[in-house]
Amino acid sequence: MLFLPIATKTVGGSEAKIYTNGLHHYLEEKTGKTLNAEVFLPLLITNIAVALLCFINIFNYKKRSFQKRFAIVSIILIGGFAFWCSIYAKELPGGIEGANFGIGAYLPALAILFVVLGIFGINKDERLIRSAERLR
């Protein structure tokens, strides 16, 4: 999500794009394109933190119950981050009406899907270990 736009809107010859690092205005003038940016530092830091938490969770494979709880917390954090992105998307000029949503708007839903699939995999591993312990 760092490099993909969340929403894009064209108003009066100028284009505005929302990224997690800020709002970028691309203005058409006689001299060419100029860029005005409004920085969303808290949103950027949250984006990086959520991505790191999900990445760190991969290496907790020895503690499956903790990994599962951590994955549920990750789902809640990703949902909150997506809600926060939608609030910042309303800062487009003229509001969110008529905006084109980019691939960045759909990545939190995809991340939640992959975390849920990870939880299913953890449950499958737990069942496999329990059945192997019965054979001993």
2 part of a folded domain? no
Closest CA to 115 of 46, 45, 53, 44: 53
41 part of a folded domain? yes
14 part of a folded domain? yes
Tens of pLDDT along 36-92? Answer: 678 888 989 999 999 999 999 999 988 999 999 999 999 999 999 999 988 888 888
pLDDT at 31 over 70: no
Residue 20 vs residues 3, 59, 121: alpha-carbon distances, Å: 8, 26, 30
Task: Specify the pTM.
Answer: 0.84
Confidence of residue 3 (pLDDT cuts 50, 70, 90): confident
Domain boundaries, position 62: 7-135
DSSP 3-state of 95: coil
**Element containing residue 17 per DSSP (H, E):** strand 14-19
Q: How far apart are CA 136 and CA 134, in angstroms?
A: 5
Question: What's the total number of domains in the chain?
Answer: 1
1 part of a folded domain? no
